[in-house]
């Protein structure tokens, strides 16, 4: 495991107290560390707007990063200067903004999705079904709790998704028998863990753990897709059962795509792209799709309409008129 500097540990500890996810902490530390190394390891307190501007320019001119990546770097540095250095950056930084065009999403046809699912390891079939059937991001899928599945209203509740937003998404009724079976498996793990004197219960946000001290050992709060092994909580060292690792999901989907001879570059996010595109193809309103995906701006959702407007679904080729 790579060791951090005492300063980066200070930032990480502060972010933990503010209940940032471990993934967000790693992302912010990456950009803060990159900023410090870019300026020959100068201490952030000796730098400010000018140095941040130079770094953001470098990311565009030398690294050719996307607008989204540049924005993430800026967010990390803004956090650093606001909460750690205690000297906020100017709101009018004059850095070069990335103009790199976002890539059009890779989308599978319904037949390709069906083929991919047929080659998936059964251990990952249900989670892939939720990503395609409900438009979930991989982290949203692996972090689902048992109580997030609403069988009565046939929906899935997503808490603290990207941007810390909550939303309710559709649930394919065909997945219900598998979901009930998955909950039984989660309960079996829980009953086994409760016999372990070192088991500290499932991880819960600090505020909820204080408000409901016994909830971490209740079935409702257990991860829907529990890990096969117990592990130490990286923040506290307590023994807990984590959820599926997203890397395992990615590898399983990639392997299934190879076995299915699908030549497109397939990732878990391809299932989410396909969900959105197929919803639009079936006549769903773009605002509905926006809500399902959890996009703040409908412009983000509109990229899927660009996919549908390619080829025969958009402009008719002049060759077709003469042949």
Q: What is the DSSP letter of 199?
A: B
CA 202 to chain centre: 20
- The answer to whether residues 230 and 279 belong to one domain is yes
Q: What is the structure's pLDDT at 166?
A: 87
How many residues are given for the chain? 323
Residue 230's SS3 state is: strand
Please report where in the chains the tokens 């079904």 appear, as a residue: 129
Counting residues of the chain whose pLDDT is more than 70, the rounded percentage is 93
- The answer to whether residues 164 and 128 belong to one domain is yes
What's the pLDDT tens digit per position in 207-217?
777 778 889 99
- The answer to whether residues 173 and 276 belong to one domain is yes
Q: What is the structure's pLDDT at 105?
A: 86
Q: What is the structure's pLDDT at 234?
A: 78
CA 20, CA 12: separation in Å to the nearest integer?
Answer: 9
Higher pLDDT, 25 or 205: 25
Supply 124's token pair.
Answer: 């990952």
304 flagged as catalytic: yes
Closest CA to 182 of 140, 117, 229, 122: 122
Q: What is the structure's pLDDT at 88?
A: 92
* pLDDT value at 316 more than 70: no
- The answer to whether residues 145 and 259 belong to one domain is yes
Q: What count of other Cβ atoms lies within 10 Å of the Cβ of residue 3?
A: 6
23 flagged as catalytic: no
Q: What is the structure's pLDDT at 1?
A: 47
123 flagged as catalytic: no
Q: Could you say which of 114, 160, 162, 166 is catalytic? A: 162
CA 248, CA 250: separation in Å to the nearest integer?
Answer: 5
Question: For residue 322, is it within any domain?
Answer: no
91: left (phi over 0), alpha (psi -120 to 50) or beta: alpha
145 flagged as catalytic: no
* pLDDT value at 83 more than 60: yes
Q: Could you say which of 39, 217, 255, 269 is catalytic? A: 269
Burial of 40 from C-beta contacts in 10 A (0-12 / 13-18 / 19+): exposed
CATH of the domain at 24: 1.10.150.130
278 flagged as catalytic: no
Question: For residue 99, is it within any domain?
Answer: no
Question: For residue 321, is it within any domain?
Answer: no
- The answer to whether residues 56 and 118 belong to one domain is no
CA 113 to chain centre: 21
* pLDDT value at 35 more than 50: yes
Supply the mean pLDDT for the chain.
Answer: 89
- Average confidence (pLDDT) over 54-77: 92
- The answer to whether residues 46 and 136 belong to one domain is no
- The answer to whether residues 144 and 78 belong to one domain is no
- The answer to whether residues 175 and 300 belong to one domain is yes
Q: Ranked by mean pLDDT, which of 84-98, 237-251, 282-296 comes out on top?
A: 237-251
211: left (phi over 0), alpha (psi -120 to 50) or beta: alpha
- The answer to whether residues 71 and 180 belong to one domain is no
Q: Could you say which of 137, 240, 242, 278 is catalytic? A: 137
* pLDDT value at 307 more than 80: no
CATH of the domain at 186: 1.10.443.10
Question: For residue 323, is it within any domain?
Answer: no
What's the domain range around 66?
6-84
Question: For residue 191, is it within any domain?
Answer: yes
Counting residues of the chain whose pLDDT is more than 90, the rounded percentage is 67
272 flagged as catalytic: yes
Question: For residue 95, is it within any domain?
Answer: no
Cβ–Cβ < 8 Å for 135, 272:
yes
- Grade residue 229 by pLDDT with cuts at 50, 70 and 90: very high
Q: What is the structure's pLDDT at 31?
A: 96
- The answer to whether residues 80 and 125 belong to one domain is no
Q: What is the structure's pLDDT at 199?
A: 94
Question: For residue 93, is it within any domain?
Answer: no
Give the predicted TM-score (pTM) of the model: 0.78
> Are β-strands 239-243 and 226-232 bridged in parallel, bridged antiparallel, or unpaired?
antiparallel
Asked which of 22, 49, 84 is the last residue of a domain, the reply is: 84
Question: For residue 121, is it within any domain?
Answer: yes
Asked which of 84, 101, 129 is the last residue of a domain, the reply is: 84
Residue 45 sits at φ, ψ, to 5 deg, of: -65, -20
Supply 152's token pair.
Answer: 């009565």
Counted domains in the chain: 2
- The answer to whether residues 116 and 74 belong to one domain is no
What's the pLDDT tens digit per position in 166-187?
899 999 999 999 999 999 999 9
What's the pLDDT tens digit per position in 122-154?
999 999 999 999 999 999 999 999 999 999 999
- Grade residue 309 by pLDDT with cuts at 50, 70 and 90: low
Q: Could you say which of 242, 272, 273, 278 is catalytic? A: 272
- Grade residue 322 by pLDDT with cuts at 50, 70 and 90: confident
Higher pLDDT, 218 or 20: 218
* pLDDT value at 301 more than 60: yes
- The answer to whether residues 239 and 296 belong to one domain is yes
Higher pLDDT, 212 or 47: 47
């Amino acid at each position: 495991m790579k060791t951090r500097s005492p300063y980066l540990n200070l930032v990480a500890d502060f972010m933990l107290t503010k209940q940032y996810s471990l993934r967000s902490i790693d992302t912010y530390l990456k950009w803060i560390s990159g900023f410090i190394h870019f300026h020959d390891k100068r201490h952030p307190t000796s730098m400010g707007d000018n140095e941040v501007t130079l770094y953001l320019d470098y990311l565009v001119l030398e690294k050719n990063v996307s607008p989204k990546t540049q924005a993430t770097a800026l967010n990390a540095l803004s956090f650093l200067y606001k909460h750690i250095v205690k000297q906020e950056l100017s709101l009018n930084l004059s850095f070069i903004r990335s103009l790199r065009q976002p890539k059009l999403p890779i989308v599978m046809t319904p037949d390709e999705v069906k083929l991919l699912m047929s080659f998936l390891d059964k251990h990952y079939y249900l989670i892939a079904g939720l990503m395609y059937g409900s438009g979930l991001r991989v982290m949203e899928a692996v972090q689902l709790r048992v109580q997030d599945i609403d069988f009565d209203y046939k929906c899935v509740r997503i808490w603290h998704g990207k941007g810390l937003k909550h939303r309710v998404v559709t649930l394919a009724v065909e997945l219900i028998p598998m979901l009930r079976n998955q909950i039984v498996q989660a309960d079996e793990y829980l009953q086994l863990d409760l016999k372990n004197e070192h088991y500290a219960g499932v991880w819960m946000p600090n505020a909820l753990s204080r408000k409901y001290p016994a909830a971490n050992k209740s079935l409702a709060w257990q991860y829907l897709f529990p890990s096969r092994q117990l592990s130490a909580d990286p923040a506290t060292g307590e023994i807990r059962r984590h959820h599926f690792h997203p890397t395992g999901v990615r590898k399983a989907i990639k392997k299934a795509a190879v076995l299915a001879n699908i030549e497109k570059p397939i990732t878990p996010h391809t299932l989410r792209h396909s969900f959105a595109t197929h919803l639009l193809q079936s006549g769903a309103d773009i605002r509905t799709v926006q809500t399902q995906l959890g996009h703040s701006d409908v412009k983000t959702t509109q990229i899927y309409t660009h996919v549908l407007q390619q080829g025969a679904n958009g402009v008719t080729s002049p060759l077709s008129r003469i042949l």
